[in-house]
Amino acid sequence: METLIQAHDLTKLYRMGDETVHALDGVSFVIPRGDYCAIVGPSGSGKSTLMNIIGGLDKPSGGSIVIDGADIGALDDTGLATFRNRTIGFVFQSFNLLARQTALENVELPMIYAGVDPKERVARAAELLDRVGLGKRMDHRPNQLSGGQQQRVAIARALAGRPALLLGDEPTGALDTQTGKDIMALFDELNHEGVTIVLVTHDHDVAARAKRTIEMRDGKIVSDKQNVRTAA
Protein backbone atom coordinates (compact mmCIF):
# COMPACT_ATOMS: atom_id res chain seq x y z
CA MET A 1 0.00 0.00 0.00
CA GLU A 2 1.32 3.46 -0.91
CA THR A 3 2.64 5.56 1.98
CA LEU A 4 1.10 9.01 2.42
CA ILE A 5 2.77 10.07 5.71
CA GLN A 6 6.11 8.88 7.04
CA ALA A 7 7.36 10.34 10.32
CA HIS A 8 10.75 9.39 11.73
CA ASP A 9 12.03 10.22 15.21
CA LEU A 10 10.03 13.45 15.53
CA THR A 11 10.87 15.67 18.46
CA LYS A 12 9.41 18.98 19.56
CA LEU A 13 10.98 20.96 22.37
CA TYR A 14 9.57 23.99 24.19
CA ARG A 15 11.36 26.17 26.70
CA MET A 16 9.31 27.00 29.79
CA GLY A 17 11.52 29.14 32.00
CA ASP A 18 14.57 27.05 32.87
CA GLU A 19 12.83 23.83 31.88
CA THR A 20 12.84 22.08 28.49
CA VAL A 21 9.56 20.31 27.74
CA HIS A 22 9.58 17.40 25.25
CA ALA A 23 6.16 17.76 23.63
CA LEU A 24 7.21 15.04 21.19
CA ASP A 25 9.96 12.61 22.09
CA GLY A 26 11.07 10.32 19.26
CA VAL A 27 7.76 9.74 17.44
CA SER A 28 7.81 7.49 14.35
CA PHE A 29 4.92 6.09 12.32
CA VAL A 30 3.68 5.43 8.79
CA ILE A 31 0.18 6.18 7.49
CA PRO A 32 -0.74 4.56 4.17
CA ARG A 33 -2.85 6.37 1.62
CA GLY A 34 -6.50 5.60 2.32
CA ASP A 35 -5.98 4.97 6.04
CA TYR A 36 -8.33 6.28 8.76
CA CYS A 37 -6.41 6.96 11.95
CA ALA A 38 -7.41 8.42 15.32
CA ILE A 39 -4.77 9.95 17.62
CA VAL A 40 -5.75 9.83 21.29
CA GLY A 41 -4.18 10.60 24.64
CA PRO A 42 -4.62 12.72 27.76
CA SER A 43 -4.05 16.47 27.89
CA GLY A 44 -0.34 17.15 27.46
CA SER A 45 0.32 13.83 25.71
CA GLY A 46 1.57 15.52 22.53
CA LYS A 47 -1.35 14.65 20.26
CA SER A 48 -2.20 18.28 19.40
CA THR A 49 1.47 19.08 18.80
CA LEU A 50 1.67 16.10 16.46
CA MET A 51 -1.48 17.22 14.64
CA ASN A 52 -0.01 20.72 14.17
CA ILE A 53 3.16 19.26 12.69
CA ILE A 54 1.26 16.90 10.36
CA GLY A 55 -0.83 19.89 9.26
CA GLY A 56 2.20 22.07 8.59
CA LEU A 57 1.12 24.54 11.27
CA ASP A 58 4.31 23.92 13.26
CA LYS A 59 7.77 22.49 12.58
CA PRO A 60 9.51 19.70 14.47
CA SER A 61 12.64 20.42 16.49
CA GLY A 62 14.18 17.23 15.12
CA GLY A 63 13.41 14.21 12.99
CA SER A 64 11.56 14.27 9.69
CA ILE A 65 8.03 14.06 8.34
CA VAL A 66 7.27 13.45 4.68
CA ILE A 67 3.69 13.87 3.44
CA ASP A 68 2.67 13.08 -0.12
CA GLY A 69 6.34 13.20 -1.13
CA ALA A 70 7.14 16.56 0.52
CA ASP A 71 9.55 16.91 3.45
CA ILE A 72 7.47 19.53 5.22
CA GLY A 73 10.05 20.19 7.91
CA ALA A 74 12.33 21.59 5.20
CA LEU A 75 9.77 24.00 3.71
CA ASP A 76 9.82 27.73 4.41
CA ASP A 77 6.65 29.58 5.47
CA THR A 78 5.56 30.26 1.88
CA GLY A 79 6.20 26.67 0.89
CA LEU A 80 4.24 25.43 3.91
CA ALA A 81 1.26 27.65 3.08
CA THR A 82 1.22 26.35 -0.50
CA PHE A 83 1.59 22.77 0.72
CA ARG A 84 -1.32 23.10 3.17
CA ASN A 85 -3.63 24.60 0.56
CA ARG A 86 -2.87 21.89 -2.01
CA THR A 87 -2.52 18.82 0.17
CA ILE A 88 -4.47 19.12 3.44
CA GLY A 89 -8.08 19.80 4.36
CA PHE A 90 -8.72 20.90 7.95
CA VAL A 91 -11.85 20.33 10.06
CA PHE A 92 -11.83 22.06 13.45
CA GLN A 93 -13.93 21.72 16.59
CA SER A 94 -15.04 25.36 16.31
CA PHE A 95 -15.91 25.13 12.57
CA ASN A 96 -13.98 28.37 11.75
CA LEU A 97 -16.52 29.58 9.21
CA LEU A 98 -16.69 33.23 8.12
CA ALA A 99 -19.85 34.64 9.70
CA ARG A 100 -20.74 37.07 6.89
CA GLN A 101 -20.28 34.54 4.09
CA THR A 102 -22.85 32.03 2.89
CA ALA A 103 -22.20 28.30 3.06
CA LEU A 104 -21.36 28.37 -0.65
CA GLU A 105 -18.92 31.26 -0.22
CA ASN A 106 -17.23 29.55 2.74
CA VAL A 107 -16.65 26.41 0.68
CA GLU A 108 -15.29 28.48 -2.21
CA LEU A 109 -12.52 30.04 -0.08
CA PRO A 110 -9.74 27.46 -0.55
CA MET A 111 -10.38 27.47 -4.29
CA ILE A 112 -10.12 31.27 -4.42
CA TYR A 113 -6.67 31.02 -2.81
CA ALA A 114 -5.76 28.30 -5.31
CA GLY A 115 -6.78 30.48 -8.26
CA VAL A 116 -9.61 28.25 -9.47
CA ASP A 117 -11.85 29.76 -12.15
CA PRO A 118 -14.98 31.36 -10.58
CA LYS A 119 -17.48 29.22 -12.49
CA GLU A 120 -15.62 26.04 -11.65
CA ARG A 121 -15.32 26.85 -7.97
CA VAL A 122 -19.01 27.73 -7.62
CA ALA A 123 -19.96 24.47 -9.32
CA ARG A 124 -17.60 22.44 -7.14
CA ALA A 125 -18.71 24.18 -3.94
CA ALA A 126 -22.34 23.45 -4.79
CA GLU A 127 -21.48 19.83 -5.56
CA LEU A 128 -19.69 19.43 -2.23
CA LEU A 129 -22.51 21.00 -0.23
CA ASP A 130 -24.92 18.65 -1.91
CA ARG A 131 -22.55 15.79 -1.06
CA VAL A 132 -22.71 16.64 2.66
CA GLY A 133 -26.50 17.03 2.60
CA LEU A 134 -26.73 20.83 2.44
CA GLY A 135 -27.71 21.33 -1.16
CA LYS A 136 -30.73 23.37 -0.07
CA ARG A 137 -28.79 25.51 2.42
CA MET A 138 -26.13 27.00 0.17
CA ASP A 139 -27.29 30.58 0.67
CA HIS A 140 -27.51 30.30 4.46
CA ARG A 141 -24.96 32.01 6.68
CA PRO A 142 -23.44 30.18 9.67
CA ASN A 143 -25.85 31.75 12.20
CA GLN A 144 -28.73 30.29 10.18
CA LEU A 145 -27.33 26.76 10.49
CA SER A 146 -27.18 24.26 13.35
CA GLY A 147 -23.83 23.14 14.77
CA GLY A 148 -23.97 19.93 12.80
CA GLN A 149 -24.79 21.79 9.60
CA GLN A 150 -21.90 24.20 10.20
CA GLN A 151 -19.55 21.25 10.62
CA ARG A 152 -20.83 19.80 7.34
CA VAL A 153 -20.00 23.11 5.65
CA ALA A 154 -16.53 22.93 7.21
CA ILE A 155 -16.07 19.39 5.86
CA ALA A 156 -17.18 20.49 2.38
CA ARG A 157 -14.70 23.39 2.58
CA ALA A 158 -11.94 20.99 3.68
CA LEU A 159 -12.60 18.84 0.61
CA ALA A 160 -12.72 21.75 -1.83
CA GLY A 161 -9.07 21.51 -2.84
CA ARG A 162 -9.25 17.73 -3.37
CA PRO A 163 -6.71 17.22 -0.59
CA ALA A 164 -4.61 14.09 -0.17
CA LEU A 165 -5.26 14.25 3.58
CA LEU A 166 -8.20 15.29 5.74
CA LEU A 167 -7.27 16.33 9.29
CA GLY A 168 -9.85 16.63 12.04
CA ASP A 169 -9.10 18.36 15.36
CA GLU A 170 -11.83 17.22 17.80
CA PRO A 171 -14.37 17.45 14.94
CA THR A 172 -17.31 16.35 17.12
CA GLY A 173 -16.24 18.18 20.29
CA ALA A 174 -18.80 20.99 19.94
CA LEU A 175 -21.68 18.74 18.88
CA ASP A 176 -24.33 16.77 20.74
CA THR A 177 -24.03 12.98 20.75
CA GLN A 178 -26.38 12.21 17.85
CA THR A 179 -25.06 15.00 15.63
CA GLY A 180 -21.54 13.78 16.39
CA LYS A 181 -22.52 10.29 15.25
CA ASP A 182 -23.95 11.75 12.02
CA ILE A 183 -20.70 13.60 11.33
CA MET A 184 -18.67 10.46 12.02
CA ALA A 185 -20.88 8.53 9.60
CA LEU A 186 -19.96 11.12 6.98
CA PHE A 187 -16.26 10.59 7.75
CA ASP A 188 -16.84 6.84 7.33
CA GLU A 189 -18.33 7.45 3.89
CA LEU A 190 -15.49 9.73 2.84
CA ASN A 191 -12.88 7.19 3.91
CA HIS A 192 -14.76 4.45 2.08
CA GLU A 193 -14.45 6.65 -1.02
CA GLY A 194 -10.68 6.76 -0.58
CA VAL A 195 -10.06 9.91 1.49
CA THR A 196 -7.20 9.52 3.99
CA ILE A 197 -8.32 10.78 7.42
CA VAL A 198 -6.38 11.54 10.60
CA LEU A 199 -8.33 12.72 13.65
CA VAL A 200 -7.26 13.97 17.06
CA THR A 201 -9.90 13.18 19.66
CA HIS A 202 -10.37 12.63 23.39
CA ASP A 203 -13.54 10.64 22.67
CA HIS A 204 -12.88 6.90 22.56
CA ASP A 205 -16.21 6.27 20.80
CA VAL A 206 -15.05 8.56 18.00
CA ALA A 207 -11.65 6.86 17.91
CA ALA A 208 -13.32 3.46 17.66
CA ARG A 209 -14.89 4.52 14.34
CA ALA A 210 -11.40 4.78 12.79
CA LYS A 211 -9.51 1.83 11.33
CA ARG A 212 -6.56 2.49 13.58
CA THR A 213 -5.80 4.21 16.89
CA ILE A 214 -2.47 5.74 17.88
CA GLU A 215 -2.31 6.43 21.61
CA MET A 216 0.14 9.00 22.95
CA ARG A 217 1.45 9.71 26.42
CA ASP A 218 4.25 12.04 27.54
CA GLY A 219 5.24 12.84 23.97
CA LYS A 220 5.61 9.20 22.92
CA ILE A 221 3.49 6.67 21.06
CA VAL A 222 2.53 3.99 23.60
CA SER A 223 0.12 2.03 21.41
CA ASP A 224 -0.60 1.73 17.68
CA LYS A 225 -3.32 -0.77 16.89
CA GLN A 226 -5.89 -1.68 14.28
CA ASN A 227 -9.48 -1.33 15.47
CA VAL A 228 -12.20 -3.93 15.27
CA ARG A 229 -14.92 -1.84 13.71
CA THR A 230 -18.62 -2.44 14.30
CA ALA A 231 -21.67 -0.74 12.86
CA ALA A 232 -22.73 2.32 14.83
- 157 domain-assigned: no
Q: What is the pTM of this model?
A: 0.91
Q: Is residue 17 part of a domain?
A: yes
As a whole number, mean pLDDT of residues 189-202 equals 94
In this structure, is residue 125 part of a structural domain? no
d(CA 186, CA 172): 12
- What span, in angstroms and rounded, lies between the C-alpha atoms of 214 and 201? 11
> Which domain, by its residues, includes 216?
3-95+147-152+164-226
pLDDT digit string, tens, across residues 95-107: 999 999 999 999 9
| pLDDT higher than 90, residue 212 | yes
Decide if 14 is inside a domain.
yes
Checking if the pLDDT of 229 tops 70, the result is no
139 occurs within a structural domain: no
The pLDDT score that the predictor gives to residue 230 is 53
In a domain, residue 117? The reply is no
The bridge status of strand 165-169 relative to strand 88-92 is parallel
Q: Is residue 129 situated within a structural domain?
A: no
Helix (H) or strand (E) holding 206: helix 204-209
Number of domains in the chain: 1
CATH, residue 199: 3.40.50.300
